[in-house]
Amino acid sequence: MTQPRRLRTPRPPGRAAGVVLAGGSGTRVGAGINKAFLPLAGRSIAGWGLNTLAAVEGIGILVFVVRPDDLEHARFVDSRETEHPLEIITGGETRQESELLALRHLADRIDSGAVDTVLIHDAARPLVSHGLVSAVLHAARESGGAVPGIPALDIASAGPGHTLAPGADLREDALVRVQTPQGFHAATILDAYEAAARDGFVGTDTASCAEEYTHIPVTWVRGEETNFKITYAQDLLLAQDVVSALGLRTG
């Protein structure tokens, strides 16, 4: 049975852009397609995050970055699973190249001031909440850059020979596990990525590039345990359990 086409509503005005990256594969999940397009409680994994970002006040543009092989899947998500239109572009060979291509896609609107903040999110984190996205957007506008993080209370210092370092005293807030979306002042992060491309610098995430090429303080807001990344088959099963337990709706 073909899923009916969703009624589209105009994008609300907003000067922030949401970028959702879906450049992964389904290998470790055990699937034959990109994991972002696997079903999760009536909608694709990617569709969950896209709809959450779309519902946040202030986000006026949604850019969906996919592999060339996944364009048809992305168009299906756009036409059948999201209430607001997506700007679908193809990404690069690496996460950083995909982020750069998304920023270049937005460059004219960044230069004109139509886009002042960019939030970059992993499609493989489908259960990010409306509140967390809003908090990152607010913090990014306040400080220039913000990421969600969870204090890493289960981290210990390693010593030699697979031992734990004696007397290690890590403050509870010394280390955080960083999540997405990561939000930044749009013009600043665009310049940072262009500089990184010229230098051949490859960071681990958006924040690492910002820390290398900007002077803005990257603040962190409290993340959520349910905002986990789907990497393995058990993660997808856990996501299904979370959706059921919290009574989340597909819209």
Residues composing the chain: 251
Predicted confidence at residue 28, as pLDDT, reads 54
Show the CA angle centred on residue 135, arms to residues 12 and 60, nearest 5°: 20
Look at residue 23 in the predicted model and tell me its pLDDT: 82
Span 189-215, average pLDDT: 95
- What pLDDT score was predicted for residue 48? 97
Give the model confidence (pLDDT) of 204-234 as tens digits.
999 999 999 999 999 999 999 999 999 999 9
Q: Give, to the nearest 10 degrees, the angle between helix 95-112 and helix 186-199.
A: 140
Residue 73 contacts residue 33 (beta carbons within 8 Å): yes
- pLDDT, residue 9, reads 58
The pLDDT value recorded for residue 14 is 85
Q: Which of 243, 141, 11 is nearest to 133 (CA)?
A: 141
Is pLDDT larger for residue 171 or for residue 124? 124
* pLDDT value at residue 1: 40
DSSP assigned state of 79: I
Per-residue model confidence as pLDDT tens digits over 91-123: 999 999 999 999 999 999 999 999 999 999 999
CA distance 151 to 126: 21
Res 229: pLDDT: 96
